[in-house]
Amino acid sequence: MAIQLFTPTFRVDECLEEIRECLEKGWTGLGFKTVEFENKWKEYTGLPNAHFLNSATVGLSLALKILKMEYKWEDGDEVITTPLTFVSTNHAIMYENLQPVFADVDEYLCLDPRDVEKKITSKTRAIMFVGLGGNTGRYMEIVELCEKYNLKLILDAAHMAGTRLNGIIPGKEADVVVYSFQAVKNLPTADSGMICFKESELDELCRKLTWLGINKDTYARANDKGAYKWKYDVEYVGYKYHGNSIMAAIGLVQLKYLDQDNAYRRQLAEWYNQNFKEYHSKIKPVFVAENCESSRHLYVIAVDNRDELLLALNESGIYPGVHYRDNTDYSMYNYAHGTCPNSHNISEKIISLPMHLQLTKQDIDFISETVIKYTY
């Protein structure tokens, strides 16, 4: 049987029970389960605010839009970001007519604070930190840079559901944190996300913008007393970005098992580490930063024969991935090509090996043996 990079695990009966409640009550949209999931997420993370969305991509876009509105940023102002990420991270900056400025990555594949500081200019307004694979990298040094230069911090935590740093869910230091619950993430739904603003006023603005600029959503109106439930005001040109109760119902179940699932992912990573420990001359795992308990969304190695190895693994029924291609290689971000040499070099070598809950020790051993066979 083929070994896939990602295979999500759902507690099907429990998910169906939660969804059944939505169907029986006739409330599948915004509200009901979305409110419950938001409250559970705040309880789990310790973050002060949480708003359930239909994707993490719109969350990143909203984070930048709202910060731009609140702090009077101008078109063309700069956001320092990573070239080693899924393109939605950097597209979100472009959505708001802001300028992505790429800084290089370190050995953790996260932003290198030394290069970030070099890229700060009078037009820099924020730093976008991506916790690639669930790794925290040098996150706290990025926090210090934001404080030093009075910059806003956006934590793209798409891979970080359940990650802890020094025993605590990171993000309270950031102005906004965005999570992904897309189909193959550690907390999978079909597609959804969560945006967590530090300031409650920005969370309130976000809720209006995700519901077409309307100042009172349908769930709030349904719970109002009085005869004028249909009356509301429209304060902004908003969007249809909010999440729905079906996705939240699945999320509520998945959240119950998140720490347990991540613990197994860390066990998978440890088995990989043990298998490769004698082979670091040619197989270089990307290790987790000190004091980081990673969600282990990814297990990444760097090899010199990446493309040949990918083909050999495929022929053996193993289907890994690449996270990610250096974004400055894409035509729309090519203006920054050559500005991040470590990112460019490492993106030519990295492979993400299969990481999901249905893998066994035997699977990990087979994958590892195959990697070693075709690398040496």
CB 188 within 8 A of CB 12: no
pLDDT digits (tens, 9 = 90+) for 42-77: 999 999 999 999 999 999 999 999 999 999 999 999
Q: Look up the pTM and report it.
A: 0.96
Share of the chain above pLDDT 90, in %: 94
CATH number, domain with residue 155: 3.40.640.10
pLDDT digits (tens, 9 = 90+) for 151-190: 999 999 999 999 999 999 999 999 999 999 999 999 999 9
How far apart CA 276 and CA 319 sit, in angstroms, is 19
pLDDT digits (tens, 9 = 90+) for 316-333: 999 999 999 999 999 999
Average pLDDT taken over every residue of the chain:
96
Answer whether the bond into residue 324 is a cis peptide, omega within 30°. yes
CB 98 within 8 A of CB 68: yes
Query: What total number of domains does the chain contain?
Result: 2
- Would you state the structure tokens that stand for residue 157, as one six-digit string? 């935590």
Question: Could you say which of 256, 286, 321 is where a domain stops?
Answer: 256
Q: Same structural domain for residues 56 and 32? A: yes
Q: Same structural domain for residues 236 and 290? A: no
pLDDT score for 309: 98
Q: Same structural domain for residues 266 and 251? A: no
- Would you state the structure tokens that stand for residue 49, as one six-digit string? 């605010």
Mean pLDDT of the 112-140 span:
98
Question: Could you say which of 237, 256, 275 is where a domain stops?
Answer: 256
Q: Same structural domain for residues 264 and 249? A: no
Q: Residue 140 above 60 pLDDT? A: yes
Mean pLDDT of the 223-250 span:
83
The model's confidence at residue 215, banded by pLDDT at 50, 70 and 90, is confident
The model's confidence at residue 231, banded by pLDDT at 50, 70 and 90, is confident
CB 142 within 8 A of CB 171: no
Candidate from 16-30, 204-218, 271-285, 350-364 with smallest mean pLDDT: 204-218
The model's confidence at residue 216, banded by pLDDT at 50, 70 and 90, is confident
pLDDT score for 226: 46
Q: Which of 312, 307, 335 is nearest to 322 (CA)?
A: 307
Q: Same structural domain for residues 21 and 146? A: yes
Question: Could you say which of 256, 288, 321 is where a domain stops?
Answer: 256
The conformation of residue 321, written as its DSSP 8-state character, comes to: B
Distances in whole angstroms, Cα of residue 115 to Cα of each of 129, 141, 167, 292, 327: 13, 12, 28, 22, 17
pLDDT digits (tens, 9 = 90+) for 13-34: 999 999 999 999 999 999 999 9
Q: In what order do the strands lie in the sheet with 124-130?
A: 51-53, 193-197, 176-180, 152-157, 124-130, 78-81, 99-102
Q: Residue 229 above 80 pLDDT? A: no
Domain extent, residue 311, equals 258-375
Q: Same structural domain for residues 252 and 354? A: no
Share of the chain above pLDDT 70, in %: 96
Q: Same structural domain for residues 288 and 191? A: no
> What is the helix (H) or strand (E) element at residue 302, kind and residue range?
strand 299-302
pLDDT score for 208: 96
Q: Same structural domain for residues 134 and 198? A: yes
Q: Same structural domain for residues 282 and 241? A: no
Mean pLDDT of the 145-149 span:
98
The conformation of residue 38, written as its DSSP 8-state character, comes to: H
pLDDT digits (tens, 9 = 90+) for 83-107: 999 999 999 999 999 999 999 999 9
Complete DSSP assignment for 69-132: HHHT--TT-EEEE-SSS-HHHHHHHHHTT-EEEE--B-TTSSB-HHHHHHH--TTEEEEEEE-G
Classified as helix, coil or strand, 42 is: helix
* CB neighbour list of residue 43: distance below 8 Å, 6 or more residues apart: none
Q: Same structural domain for residues 179 and 285? A: no
Q: Same structural domain for residues 228 and 271? A: no
CATH number, domain with residue 290: 3.90.1150.10
Q: Same structural domain for residues 131 and 217? A: yes
pLDDT score for 228: 47
The model's confidence at residue 227, banded by pLDDT at 50, 70 and 90, is very low
**CB neighbours of residue 291 within 10 Å:** 11
